[in-house]
Amino acid sequence: MAGGWSRDGAVNEQIEASVADELARMKAKRGPGEKPSRERCAECDEPIPERRREAIPGVQLCVECQSERDGARRPAGGINRRGSKDSQLK
């Protein structure tokens, strides 16, 4: 369903193009000169299991340190995606 002057499928095409651009940006950032996986964590110097190094090429952190980093970046608030009018009016 298109809205306004746009043709059918234009919104989906724009979303797909945005996703493709972001993937290309991430791949370019990673680049061909990716660092080799470390055998020991860059932060705590604990050994990184071989299975983790095989699963994630170029891994630099152990599971615990990576979990701490991932948890620190989570936003405090959220967006209401349920779409009920009651929750949007509050």
State pLDDT tens for residues 8-29.
888 888 999 999 999 888 777 7
The enclosing H or E element of 11 equals helix 10-30
Residues 26-53 pLDDT 10s: 777 766 556 788 999 999 999 999 999 8
How confident is the model over 67-90, as pLDDT tens digits?
A: 988 877 655 555 555 565 555 555
Angle at CA of residue 61, ends 56 and 63, nearest 5° = 80
Tokens of 90: 């509050």
The DSSP-derived string for 66-79 is: HHHHHHHTS-SS--
Give the model confidence (pLDDT) of 52-64 as tens digits: 988 888 899 999 9
Rounded Cα gap, residues 15 and 23, in angstroms: 12
pTM of the model: 0.45
Q: Specify the DSSP class assigned to residue 61.
A: S
